Structures are given as structure tokens and as C-alpha cells.
Amino acid sequence: MRSLQISPLEFSDRPAVEALLDLVFGPDRRGKSSYRLRAGSPPCPALSFAARMDGRLVGSVQQTPVAVGEEGARALLLGPLAVEPELRGRGVGRALMRRTLDAARAAGWPHVFLIGERDYYAPLGFGPAEAVGVSVAGEPAARVHHMTLAPDSPAPRGELRPRQPDPARQR
């Protein structure tokens, strides 16, 4: 494989990321439940990364703050994670996942959730969110996954939902 570099996602990467997401997930991707959960909250810049080969963007990953349950417990929603189709199975997605999860752990985030295929995410350490009492409206339980980043932090319970803006920050 050509030399792979993982670096922070830059604002100038936006057009290439959007084109990659359209290619991987299709133009109707914004109607998916994961996009509804991200509504109104931008991804965390410190947890957003690009994979490049020969200077060309070939993959990206982002994480967005979400709320869990009635208490609005703090968590992250990982995604979208996208890799150019011809590079799948070559470790690009795993490298992006390691980088963003390490950054989230270092930043003190206790829990990460995602919506995706169990066969891909289980070997990376994700378990069923249903096992910790978390669900996503409109998503089969088998597609909703969880990872604890802070071992002493019990998983919040309830439905995953968009994070509400903090009124104190809007002043």
C-alpha cells in the first residue's frame, strides 16, 4: 500500500469529504438516522481526521456530541467513517478509527456510539448498545454499537438523541 498519512481534517477538505461521502453512502445519506442525530451539532474538530495517500484524501472520520436518555448524558456519535471503495480492506478505516478513538479518550469523552455493520465494528472493540440499554429511534438494535472509553464510567441508558445547544454558551 502506498504511504498512508492520518492528519486532522481541515476546513479546506470539506468538498473532498462531501464527494467521498456521496460516493460511499449515496446522495440520500442525509436522510439516515445518524444524520438526524447529528443535526444542529457540528463535528468535533479535534476528533475529525483525514486519511491521505500521495496528498489525496482517501478517507475521513468525524465524531459529533450527542445526548443519551432523559438526563442528556454526554457521549459521542462516531461517523461518518468513509474510505474510497478501492481501498477497503487495506486498513485505512481501522487507522482512522484508532486515531479518532485515541483522541476522544485523551479528551475525556466517556462513551462512543455508532450506527453500522456489526461485522466491521465488533473486532474494533464495539459491542451492542442494546446491552447497555441504549437505542436509536428507527434503527434496528443490531446496527447500534457502543464503546466505553473511560472504564470507570457506567454507560448512560436511554435513547440516543441530538445534543441540545447549551443556553449559557449562546449568550
What is the pLDDT, as a whole number, of residue 167? Answer: 47
What is the pLDDT, as a whole number, of residue 32? Answer: 87
Which CATH number, 3.40.50.150, 3.40.50.1260, 3.40.630.30, 2.30.38.10, labels domain 4-170?
3.40.630.30
Contact (Cβ atoms closer than 8 angstroms) between residue 147 and residue 125: yes
Alpha-carbon distance 167 to 43, whole Å? 19
List all residues 6 or more positions away from 111 whose beta carbon is below 8 Å from its beta carbon: 68, 73, 75, 76, 146, 147, 148, 149, 150, 153, 155, 156
Predicted TM-score of the model (pTM): 0.91
What is the pLDDT, as a whole number, of residue 166? Answer: 57
Half-sphere exposure of 58 (CA within 13 A, CB side): 22
Sequence spans of domains, the chain: 4-170
Neighbours of 109 (CB within 10 A): 20
Residue 122 main-chain phi, psi, to 5 deg = -60, -45
What is the pLDDT, as a whole number, of residue 107? Answer: 97
In the chain, what is the straight-line distance between the N-terminal and C-terminal CA atoms, in Å?
Answer: 50
Whose cell is 480492506? That residue is 89
Cα–Cα distances in angstroms (integers) from residue 93 to residues 37, 49, 120, 145, in the given order: 22, 11, 10, 17
Instruction: Provide the residue-wise pLDDT of the chain in tens; the chain has 171 residues.
Output: 579 999 999 999 999 999 999 999 988 888 888 989 998 889 999 999 999 999 999 999 999 999 999 989 999 999 999 999 999 999 999 999 999 999 999 999 999 999 999 999 999 999 999 999 999 999 999 999 999 999 899 989 999 999 876 544 433
What is the pLDDT, as a whole number, of residue 165? Answer: 64
